[in-house]
Amino acid sequence: MSLRNIGIVYRKELMDSLRDRRTLISMVVVPILIMPLLTIGLGVLAVDIAGKAKQQIPEVMILGGADSPQLMAQLTALKDIEIVPSRPDYADEISNKQIRAAVEIPPGFDAAVQSGQPVTVKIDNYQGDLNSGFATDTLRKALRDYRDATVSRRLESRGLPVTLITPFDIKDQNVAPPEKVTGAEIGGLIPYIVILLCMTGAMYPAIDLTAGEKERGTMETILSSPVSRLHLVLGKFLMVLTASLATAALAVTSMGVSFGIGRRMLMSMASGSDSGAMQLTITFKSVLAVFGMVVPLAVLFSAALLAISLHAKSYKEAQSYISPLIPIIIIPAVVSLLPGVELNAHLALIPVLNTSLVSKEIITGTYHWKLIVLIFASSCAYAAIALGIAVKLFQREDVLFRT
């Protein structure tokens, strides 16, 4: 094997690919822009939407309560909601976001509370709607305060301390480091994006170096040069791999930089909020580790795309052949986003899914070294098989000169 001949083919294909606009866009522009848009753009948008939702005064209905003036006084005194007249179609109005919530006060509520009878107040809301959630939280807090005040008065009237009913307080405290908070929040999304970009970065060069050569009529000229087909396919493969790795490298670098900038921006916009989202961060070590796990997957994508594209007679036909491959790559990556899917020895052998799951663990700062070695070895084996198939296809005349 002549490394010199492989290098000549590689340099020639690299120069040609760098002149191609589609290759540059998929390899450089997309990975650089997509991570800031996902982190900074979506983060700023989410904070802005949440801020505007908190500033709005939600409209709320009170159903019943005519015979319960004490509770009515508690609710009507709230400044964070607007009480609107009750109507029978309140459920439809909540579903259509005309109002945000409704409180159902049972008949004789005040009398039942005074006599110590059990009674239930219902809060009708739109689960999943941000504004309805804020309205529900406001109503729930007001009702809880009213209940606690009622309990306190009863204890005081009997000369009993309030601590009799609340002997201790409960306080939530996050003890997880920032990287684990990141992993819990969006740890599965990051490898999904990186893997997808890794494939798209290799797609256009692979098509151009095979089906594109056939369509331009330059495949015969290249094959007639004093370079063996093995050197030719390896040179082309290295070019496709370069595009894939460059895309992955730019994606993970942009990811790390975007998280650093985005976190500071969101903290300033949140004005001192202690939300868990403000703790999102990615360490340089995790960025390098994710990139290392993506490398054998990039080899697999590059070889597979090169082999598939070689069967096509034209650029358009190659795109139609590769299109079914996209959901095959996306589905395993999406599975890693599902709750309850955790890395184990069996899943470590499934390509794409194993890399996505282990990258998710790495982002949280967790390194399962035995599984990491297993995943890396299996991914390298799959990549070697794909590369072997691509080399074999380049030896077949019926594939190279398919008409």
Q: pLDDT tens, position by position, for the chain (403 residues)?
A: 678 888 888 888 888 777 777 777 777 777 777 767 766 666 666 666 666 666 778 899 999 988 999 999 989 988 888 999 999 999 999 999 899 999 999 999 989 888 888 899 999 999 988 889 889 999 999 999 999 888 888 888 888 887 777 777 788 877 766 666 666 666 667 778 888 888 888 888 888 888 888 888 777 777 777 778 888 888 989 999 998 888 888 877 777 777 667 666 655 555 544 444 445 566 778 878 888 888 999 999 999 999 888 888 888 888 888 888 888 888 887 887 777 788 888 988 998 889 888 888 887 778 889 999 999 999 999 999 998 998 888 888 777 776 5
Query: Which CA distances in Å does 226 have to 5, 101, 220, 222, 264?
Result: 9, 77, 12, 9, 57
Torsional sign, CA 39, 44, 45, 51: positive
What is the rounded distance in angstroms from the CA atom of residue 339 to the CA atom of residue 348? 17
Considering the domain 55-164, what is its CATH architecture?
3-Layer(aba) Sandwich (3.40)
Query: Which CA distances in Å does 99 have to 57, 88, 91, 96, 155?
Result: 11, 13, 9, 8, 38
Query: Which CA distances in Å does 251 have to 37, 178, 334, 402?
Result: 12, 21, 18, 36
Helices (H), 271-345: 284-310, 315-322, 325-335
Residue 341 has what DSSP assignment? -
What is the rounded distance in angstroms from the CA atom of residue 263 to the CA atom of residue 269? 10
What is the rounded distance in angstroms from the CA atom of residue 390 to the CA atom of residue 386? 6
What is the rounded distance in angstroms from the CA atom of residue 125 to the CA atom of residue 361? 36
Q: Which residues contact 311 (CB under 8 A, 6 or more apart)?
A: 318, 321, 393, 399, 402
Structure-token match 């959901």, residue found: 327
- Ramachandran bin of 92, using left for φ above 0, alpha for ψ from -120 to 50, beta for the remaining angles: alpha
Structure-token match 């607007």, residue found: 82
CATH 3.40.1710.10 in the chain is located at 55-164
